[in-house]
């Protein structure tokens, strides 16, 4: 057995490493999802990618023609979700990466019922439904994986992100409960919490707000590298950013301190946010 194979087996992936994996990545038409495609294709992984923008998926697949199968789908539609699941079963997928999602940066009082429903439908409901449908396939694999892209705002409630926080808090609880429910199976569950990420979908106001507040922003490629590293190390949780890890712990232990710190940021947040829709 090669040294690299022993490393993968000990730390997170079975013998064969990434080239032996068959990975389904949602939200692959842009942002972190697209960066994950490039990261894992470069590692030799066979990928099935999905998203709502067929042209963007085709362009991504063209960069790695021998590695990628593109299956456009709207995950909030049951028939399209089922078509994707059928394709993933035929391909023998062993890993699901839930990277599809959206954000609505606005004051909660300025939103609408339709916007809340759309946010919950994509970020939460479709993710749970897709994962449940694919689990039988993952459970018969030598080692299956469910990886969900959450957010720092899945642990830390933040002004201007109320609806988004609600869905990301839920995804974190979903991942934790699913991991415990599958503890006696061969499926591993990983929850990754990126901090602010610089993507083409971010509204200029969001970028300006983060700059004014001094919030660090990662590139999608940096997040993709962190996901790969977390899998290889066999992690269950991964939080990006040292200051964010500290702030999350402080929020758990002394939430009043965080309340006061964010109250001081509130005038700046109110100045910048409107109804800017972004994709993580």
Where on the phi/psi map is residue 31: left (φ > 0), alpha (ψ -120 to 50), or beta? left
Kindly report, residue by residue over 133-192, the tens digit of the pLDDT. 999 999 999 999 999 999 999 999 999 999 999 999 999 999 999 999 999 999 999 999
Does some domain include residue 93? Answer: yes
Residue 214: give the domain boundaries.
Answer: 16-278
In whole angstroms, give the CA distance from residue 44 to residue 126. 28
Residue 5 lies in a domain: no
Instruction: State the total domains in the chain.
Output: 1
Q: For residue 89, give the CATH number of its domain.
A: 3.40.50.720
- Answer whether residue 175 is part of any domain: yes
What whole-number distance in Å separates Cα of residue 85 and Cα of residue 180? 24
- Could you tell me if 110 and 145 are in contact, meaning their C-beta atoms sit under 8 angstroms apart? no
pTM more than 0.75:
yes
Contact 12, 235 (CB under 8 A): yes
Strands 187-193 and 103-105: unpaired
Domain-embedded: residue 3: no
Domain assignment present for residue 144? The answer is: yes
Is 11 part of a structural domain of the chain? Answer: no
Residue 257 lies in a domain: yes
Burial class, 14, CB count within 10 angstroms (exposed 0-12 / middle 13-18 / buried 19+): middle
Q: Residue 201: its pLDDT value, please? A: 65
* pLDDT value at residue 14: 78
List the structure tokens of 71.
């299956």
pLDDT in tens, 229-242: 999 999 999 999 99
DSSP 188-231: EEEEEE--SB--TTS-HHHHHHHHHHT---B-HHHHHHHHHHHH
Kindly give the parts of the chain with pLDDT less than 70.
1-11, 200-202, 274-280
Catalytic residue among 164, 169, 174, 272: 164
- Catalytic status, residue 164: yes
Q: Quick one: pLDDT at residue 274?
A: 60
Element (H, E) at 139: helix 126-139
| Domain assignment present for 224 | yes
Contact 39, 63 (CB under 8 A): no
The per-residue pLDDT for 200 is: 66
């Amino acid at each position: 057995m090669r040294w690299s194979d022993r490393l993968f087996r000990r730390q997170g992936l079975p013998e064969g490493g990434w080239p032996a994996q068959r990975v389904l990545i949602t939200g692959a038409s842009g942002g972190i999802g697209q960066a994950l495609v490039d990261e894992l294709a470069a590692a030799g992984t066979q990928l099935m990618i999905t998203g709502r923008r067929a042209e963007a998926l085709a362009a991504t697949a063209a960069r790695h023609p021998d590695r990628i199968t593109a299956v456009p789908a709207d995950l909030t539609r049951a028939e399209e979700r089922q078509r994707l699941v059928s394709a993933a079963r035929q391909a023998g997928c062993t890993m699901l990466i839930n990277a599809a999602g959206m954000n609505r940066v606005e004051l909660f009082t300025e939103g609408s019922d339709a916007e809340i429903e759309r946010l919950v439908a994509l970020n939460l409901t479709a993710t749970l439904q897709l994962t449940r449908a694919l689990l039988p396939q993952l459970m018969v694999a030598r080692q299956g994986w469910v990886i969900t892209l959450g957010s720092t705002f899945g642990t830390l409630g933040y002004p201007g992100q109320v609806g988004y926080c609600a869905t990301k808090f839920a995804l974190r609880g979903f991942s934790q409960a699913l991991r415990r429910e599958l503890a006696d199976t061969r499926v591993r569950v990983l929850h990754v919490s990126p901090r602010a990420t610089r993507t083409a979908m971010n509204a200029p106001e969001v970028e300006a707000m983060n700059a004014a507040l001094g919030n660090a922003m990662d590139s999608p490629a940096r997040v993709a590298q962190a996901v790969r590293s977390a899998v290889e190390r066999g992690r269950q949780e991964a939080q990006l950013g040292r200051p964010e890890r500290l702030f999350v712990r402080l929020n758990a232990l002394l939430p009043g301190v965080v309340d006061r710190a964010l109250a001081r940021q509130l005038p700046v947040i109110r100045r910048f946010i409107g109804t800017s829709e972004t994709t993580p």
